Structure 1
Amino acid sequence: MFTQSLYEITEKTVLHELMVDYPFATLITDADGFPEVNHFPMLLETRDGKDYLTGHIPRPNALWEKHNCAKDVLAIFQGENAYISPGWYATKPENGKVVPTWDFIAVHVRGSIRFIQETDWLLTHLNALSDHHEKSFAHPWKVSDAPDEFIARLSKAIIGFEIEIKELKGKWKLSQNRPAQDRASVIAALENIGKTKMAQLIKQFEPK
Structure 2
Amino acid sequence: MYLPKAFAIDDLQELQQQILGTRLAMIVTHGEQGLQASHLPLLLNAAEGPNGTLYGHFAKANPQWQELQNGAEALVIFAGADAYVSPGFYPSKAEHGKVVPTWNYVAVHAYGTAEVFTDAERLLKLVSALTDRHEAARAQPWKVADAPADYIDGMLKAIVGFALPIQRLEGKRKLSQNRNTVDIAGVRQGLAASPDAHDQALAQLMPKE
Q: TM-score range with shorter-chain normalisation?
A: over 0.9
Amino acid at match of 2:17: E
For residues 60-75 of structure 1, the aligned pairs below 5 Å read 60-75=61-76
| Aligned counterparts of 1:66 and 1:91: Cα–Cα separation in 2 | 50
Is the Cα contact below 8 Å between 1:77 and 1:106 reproduced in 2? yes
Tell me whether 1:83 sits opposite 2:84 in the alignment.
Answer: yes
> RMSD in angstroms over aligned alpha carbons?
1.6
Partner of residue 177, structure 2: 176
Partner of residue 101, structure 1: 102
Amino acid at match of 2:14: V
For residues 52-67 of structure 1, the aligned pairs below 5 Å read 52-67=53-68
Deviation at 1:25? 1.1
Deviation at 1:35? 2.0
Is the Cα contact below 8 Å between 1:23 and 1:43 reproduced in 2? no
Is the Cα contact below 8 Å between 2:73 and 2:111 reproduced in 1? yes
Is the Cα contact below 8 Å between 1:69 and 1:114 reproduced in 2? no
| Aligned counterparts of 1:48 and 1:66: Cα–Cα separation in 2 | 23
Tell me the TM-score normalised to structure 1 length.
0.93
Partner secondary structure for residue 69 of structure 2: coil
Tell me whether 1:13 sits opposite 2:13 in the alignment.
Answer: yes
Amino acid at match of 1:164: P
Is there any run of 5+ residues in structure 1 with no aligned partner, and where? none
| Aligned counterparts of 1:131 and 1:4: Cα–Cα separation in 2 | 38
Is the Cα contact below 8 Å between 1:56 and 1:161 reproduced in 2? yes
Partner of residue 201, structure 1: 205
Question: Alpha carbons of 1:179 and 1:48: their partners in 2 closer, same or farther (altered >3 Å)?
Answer: closer
Q: Give 1 or 2: higher strand fraction.
A: 1
- Segments of 4+ in structure 1 off by > 6 A? none
Deviation at 1:41? 1.1
Partner secondary structure for residue 163 of structure 1: strand
Partner secondary structure for residue 132 of structure 1: helix
For residues 12-161 of structure 1, the aligned pairs below 5 Å read 12-32=12-32, 34-46=34-46, 48-50=48-50, 51-161=52-162
Deviation at 1:67? 2.9
Is the Cα contact below 8 Å between 2:16 and 2:46 reproduced in 1? no
| Aligned counterparts of 1:139 and 1:196: Cα–Cα separation in 2 | 30
Structure 1 window deviating more from structure 2 (33-42 vs 98-107): it is 33-42
Partner secondary structure for residue 64 of structure 1: helix
Residues 31-53 of structure 1, C-alpha deviations (whole Å, 9 max, x = no match): 22832222111111145545111
| Aligned counterparts of 1:44 and 1:61: Cα–Cα separation in 2 | 22
| Aligned counterparts of 1:33 and 1:10: Cα–Cα separation in 2 | 34
Partner secondary structure for residue 188 of structure 2: helix
Is there any run of 5+ residues in structure 2 with no aligned partner, and where? none
